[in-house]
Amino acid sequence: MRFIVRLVAFSVAAVALAFGAATFTSRERLDERRDSVEFAWARVVDDLTARYDALATANEAVRASGGSARSVVGEIDGAVADWNEALDRNDLGAGLQAATRLEGLARRLEANIEGSPRLGSEASTLALTAFAERAVDVEALNDAVTEYSEAQAGAVRSVVAATLGHDRLAVLAI
């Protein structure tokens, strides 16, 4: 019986030691990858903000053209508010989620404008064009996010990353 107790105690100690070693070796790598993501984010956030300000302007033009009943108009209002809140909180993960949502909603708004002569007013079309012209190169950001995600991959690394407070991030498609 003593042998089994000692074996279990040794096994628990070995697992704890292995987890401690994994935490120690993973922390620096995760922190470096996260810093790379934050650096890449800082380089594009102002351009993304200008892009989503242009989308909000296009949304207002659609609303003024009689499109306020369209669900996408209200959804864009909410997503722009989420974007601004993420920026105010300096929350990178929420900012990426809001940006991804805004990009999808922009496609829906474009389809609404193209599919409706009433919504396709000159103001709506010009405002949407201004949004589209504000293209943002997010390749470096997406590369950094991918490397950060790879640093979190695997059974042990994912547990370590979660323990250290490293959240999952998604790439941004524009």
Q: Give residue 49's pLDDT.
A: 97
Q: Give residue 16's pLDDT.
A: 47
Q: Give residue 126's pLDDT.
A: 82
Among candidate residues 140, 145, 45, the one with its CA nearest the CA of residue 87: 45
Whether this model's pTM surpasses 0.85: no
CA 48 to chain centre: 12
Mean pLDDT of successive 10-residue segments in the chain (174 residues)? 59 49 63 90 96 94 80 94 97 95 94 80 81 90 90 67 69 85
